[in-house]
Chain A
Amino acid sequence: MVQESGNEVQRPFWSGRPVIDCDLHNEVPSLEALKPYLADHWCAYIEESAFRGPDADDYPKGAPTTIRPGLEWEGEVEGQLALMRRQVLDPLQVEFGVLDCAYRVQGVHDPELAAALASAINRWQAEHWLDRDPRLRASIVAPTQSPVLAAREIDRWGADARFVQAVMPVRSLIPYGNRIYDPIYEAAARHDLVVGIQFGGAPGHPPTPSGWLSTYMEEYAAMAQVFQSQVTSLIVEGVFDRFPDLRVALIEAGCTWMPSLMWRLDKEWRGLRRDIPWVKRPPSDYIRRHIRLTLQPLDAPPSDKQLLEVIGQLDSDEMLMFASDHPHWHFDRLEESFPRGLSDSLARRVLAENARSFYRL
């Protein structure tokens, strides 16, 4: 993440400004870590059925995008947190860092087990992460495939100000605009929480409209289209009309595709809004008001000029939020994690201020 030569960590050109990192990964080391928080019944079930966890593999253990080659990341919380502090929190002087635990309880078909695991993970996050570093904030893991149970889990943590969002994987059983998810949005509204949509998920059906891709590389690239489908669904199925204060973060989605989606959806709306009369404004307007994107992976064009063009095409200074995506590997030097040539005021917004107001930090 940060270039290390000897013991020295180099600071990037924009250091010294306030930084809020909106995508840090904390990984449940193994089911063992959750057992203290699970009922005896579930411990016995796990033991006897040899359940090893959700049937999901969003981040293959050895893939370079998952972790920079040569880094030791697996293991206990102490090791993960030490690495996170050494590579991101300390050198960037991060004011707040938002943990995005990507344990896929949503891929567990048994809703009761999924809910029990989610509860255990959140208790584990509170005790092992939030209690250890005051800079950290966390995301509520919830069994979003069962919205009523998910809402119950969100309610459990809603009063703990260190939990700033509820997260769901971008790959869902049914798109997130569907009314079946309303209990989740009601719970988020009750506690003024952001809903985060994360890279990945394993609902059991293919990741594309044309079936299963052959390689992780393809699935990785194609995840952006699933985000596009979710944005479309949230808007046209009326979520932001039913929940006018809802805030949605797209986490690890890439961001350079967003202008093209805005243009397409606005055109669709002009032609077909008769079918969806509850959508009163052009979709791009809903996107700018309600949706934010974390910065990495940036999927930047080869030239800085084109990157600035694309950022300009968002027609908004508020949509991008800095994220290192630690410990995932998208850039070689920390310098490269942030676009060059942004105006000072936009840089400050992207580095911290957009996230500060979005997450109420």
Chain B
Amino acid sequence: MATAVTSSQAPTGGKKSRLEVIDCDIHNIIPSNRTLYKYLPERWRRHHQQFGLRGHLGGYYPRALMNAARHDAWPPSGLPAGSDLEFMREQLLDAYDIRYGILNCLYGAGGQLNLEYGAALARAINDWQIAEWLEPEPRLRASIIVPYEDGDLAAEEIDRVGDHPGFVQVLLLVRTNEPLGRPKYRKIYRAALRHNLPVGIHFGGAGAGPITGAGWPSHYIEDHGGMPQAFQAQVISLVCQGVFEQLPSLKVALIEGGFAWMAPLMWRLDRGWCKLSEEIPALRHPPSTYVRKHFWFTTQPMEEPPRPRYFRQLLEQLDADDRMMFATDYPHWDFDSPESAVPSGLSRELRKKIMSENARSLYGLE
């Protein structure tokens, strides 16, 4: 499970790989501006050339490795890691016999301060995903990239491509300008529901303030290791703001957020709600009820208790056997291998659910 920055990953063809694998978090990277420009209209091409990407600057922590990618994930073609489909097939899809892989492109369209430009980038990325990933590779599915700080523009993009069979969810990044339970994001969820899509919330992004509630930290490990705090804040907001009372069929996948924090968060929410429920009357049930019904998780990066007993306790407390989904996070440095990531000692039935069945059912895969 633990993957030191410098280690390389090679499949061994071990026993566990015989279970079917659906990988819920693969990153496809736009190789160059030249590729992007094929899909961007002239007006925004000029904008990109003149002004470039402009988001919430000042929150950058150099990552452990270039592009946060594994050393061995840089393809022989010379393209950036994650941008060469042929190499991804060889190193991931074929090597681990992956049945389906879900692409989460992290280009940053959603974090653009110029919302129209963000929308143009999202359209370009989605068209690129259809043409260069979904059409050539039937094992791949993708997430719809949206300019999520503008509900109308985001909904427009979901309606534009939402019925394409290759798209299986709408993607947000966890650090948003406002908590995701706030009304401005509701249009995104409604649009997702119109197309029967879950909403994925992925590690990353840049909100309008510091990356912790205590101000700006100093190191990448605080940026990377602090992501669960951002996920917890979003769960709190989505649940307490009554999103699931209003949209009872909405499903949310928390991607690359870890999950060991979720049981204690449910307890804290339920205990707090016992005293403070008058402030949020829209909630008819204890907060944990909504968590159990509406949230799915991906496994990577998995918290690793020092004793196997603690991991079993954790799974029981979490009560998420039907909502935990395997992910590799390819091509990033903290990649989890399908062969060794899920701790031993789980029943074959549970392992099967985690490795494929839960994702198959959430994403409507055959």
Contact = CB atoms under 8 A, between A and B. Distances in A.
Contacts of B278: 64
Contacts of A259: 260, 305, 310
A30 interface: no
B217 A267 contact: no
Contacts of A222: 213, 232-233, 236
B57 interface: no
B221 A209 contact: no
Interface in B203-226: 207-222, 224-226
Interface stretch (A47-55, A77-85, A309-317, A344-352): A309-317
Interface residues of B, number: 74
Contact of A263 (B3, B303, B333): B303
B236 A237 contact: no
Interface string A197-229: 000000101111111111111101111111011
B64 A263 contact: no
Interface in B49-64: 64
Interface in B185-239: 207-222, 224-226, 228-230, 232-234, 236-237
B217 A65 contact: no
Interface stretch (B176-184, B247-255, B345-353, B354-362): B176-184
Interface stretch (B38-46, B73-81, B268-276): B268-276
B272 A267 contact: no
A209 B173 CA distance: 12
Nearest to B211: A209
Contacts of B236: 213, 218, 221-222
Nearest to B64: A272
B86 interface: no
B142 to A, nearest CB: 24
Contacts of A143: none
Nearest to B229: A225
B68 to A, nearest CB: 11
B214 A170 contact: yes
B304 A266 contact: yes
Contacts of A274: 5, 64
Interface of B: 2-5, 64, 174-182, 207-222, 224-226, 228-230, 232-234, 236-237, 240-241, 258, 260-261, 263-265, 267-273, 275-280, 301, 303-306, 310, 313-314, 316-317, 333-334
29 contacts: A171-B213, A174-B214, A176-B214, A208-B230, A208-B233, A209-B209, A209-B229, A210-B177, A210-B179, A210-B180, A210-B230, A212-B179, A213-B236, A214-B237, A215-B241, A218-B240, A222-B236, A233-B217, A233-B222, A256-B264, A263-B304, A264-B260, A266-B306, A267-B303, A270-B2, A271-B333, A297-B271, A300-B271, A306-B313
